[in-house]
Structures are given as C-alpha cells and as structure tokens.
Amino acid sequence: DTEVTQTPKHLVMGMTNKKSLKCEQHMGHRAMYWYKQKAKKPPELMFVYSYEKLSINESVPSRFSPECPNSSLLNLHLHALQPEDSALYLCASSQVGGSTKQYFGPGTRLTVL
Amino acid sequence: SQKIEQNSEALNIQEGKTATLTCNYTNYSPAYLQWYRQDPGRGPVFLLLIRENEKEKRKERLKVTFDTTLKQSLFHITASQPADSATYLCALVPRSNFGNEKLTFGTGTRLTIIP
C-alpha cells in the first residue's frame, strides 16, 4: 500500500469554526508533513513530524495546530481561520533520513468564508 | 536571498518531441534534487531524484541532469505524449537540512503536449 489518504476532500468553514483535517498512511513511514498550496503556486511546507515529534514548524500561525497521535496518523486542527487561508492542504509521508522521496495525498480543498 | 526558479511558467511541445524543463537555484547548496509531477487538484507524484555528486539519472522516457557549477537541473521527457501534460515541480533539500527532509519546491512549469 503506497497510498496517503486525506479526509475530507473538501471543507468549507466560517471564520469562527473549529475543524480538523486528517491524514493516514500505512507504509511504515516515520516522517509526515503538512503543506499548503495556493492556486498556481508550489506547495509550501508548514510542519514536519519525525518519529511522531514535531521537528519543523515553518512559523505557521497558531490558528493551525498539528497533531501526530501515532506513526500512521497526522491531523491538522483549524481554528479562527481567515479567508486567505483558503488553499489546498497536502499531507505527505516519507522514510526518515537520507535522500528519500515523499508520497503525497490528494489534498483537502479548504474554503474559509 | 534563496530562490528556486523554473524559468518557464508554461511550455507547449508538439507530441513526439522532447520536452526540456529547467530548474535554477540561487544561494542553495543542495544535497539532492527531486522532480515531481502534479495534475490539477491532485498531490505531487515523485518522478526522479538526483544527488549532488551525480550528473545524470534516467527512468524510461525521463532524464534528469544536475550541474552544481551552473546551479541548474534539466528535466527531459523524450517522445512526449499528451498524457505527459501536467505541472512539473523541482524540489531540493539543502545540505544543511539533510536528514530532516525539508523540501523546498520550485515555481513549477505547466507542460502541455499538443497532439
């Protein structure tokens, strides 16, 4: 199984809502990532988890809160988002260390009203 | 400042010809460079990886070159097909981030193969 799954596929939320994005992989990868991608732009790294510990936070606003409950799951909790946070949110996983490729999920298309 | 630029935002190539995409970087010392393909509304898919001490890698109709003196990677698709139409992204990991896999993506090239 070389698949990364993400739910939901689409999410519309108001600025006062709290929602969560979910990501799952069963490839035994111990590095997991959240990226944000705006239209016609490349993915931008938000967070990296290595062995279930947060190893990189790219100065992301606190209204985005990541969580890695176990080696297969990665969540992104959303609260008090702004319309400019509307984007495609991509999850990825990879082996840790060395030159390894990342496997991406299909993304969650988020719209903040 | 650090930059990774793919100098064609869009590229149209006739079917059967070779498509060549360019990735230039500034103020990076990459440990390795990767190329991904992304279709609309989908996540990127890994294609090829080349290390700093390698000059060329091939996989079927794909070829990547890496010139650390020119600070450039070229990505070639030979015998191009309409199914190759997609956005292609280069991405690198600097030596300073080697081991934590912090990928930084280039600006992307939208390739269209015309039948």
Q: What does the pLDDT look like over B82-91, one tens digit per residue?
A: 999 999 999 9
Distance between CA atoms of B71 and A26, rounded to whole angstroms?
36
Residue A106's Cα: distance from chain center in Å?
11
Confidence of residue B2 (pLDDT cuts 50, 70, 90): confident
On whether any CB of chain A is under 8 Å from the CB of B40, the answer is: no
Question: Does the beta-carbon distance from A101 to B41 stay under 8 Å?
Answer: no
Q: Could you tell me how many residues make up chain B? A: 115
Q: Which residue in A43, A101, A109 is closest to B105 by CB distance?
A: A43
Q: Mapping DSSP to helix (H, G, I), strand (E, B) and coil, where does residue B36 land?
A: strand
Q: A21: which chain B residues are within 8 Å (Cβ-Cβ)? A: none
CB contacts < 8 A (A, B): 61
Tens digit of pLDDT for each residue in A65-99?
999 999 999 999 999 999 999 999 999 999 987 66
Around Cβ A79, how many Cβ atoms within 10 Å? 15
User: Which residue's structure tokens are 């896999």?
Assistant: B101
Look at A109 and B107 and tell me if their CB atoms are within 8 Å.
no
Cα separations (Å) of A27 from A32, A53, B88? Answer: 11, 18, 25
Euclidean distance between CA atoms B13 and B58, whole angstroms: 20
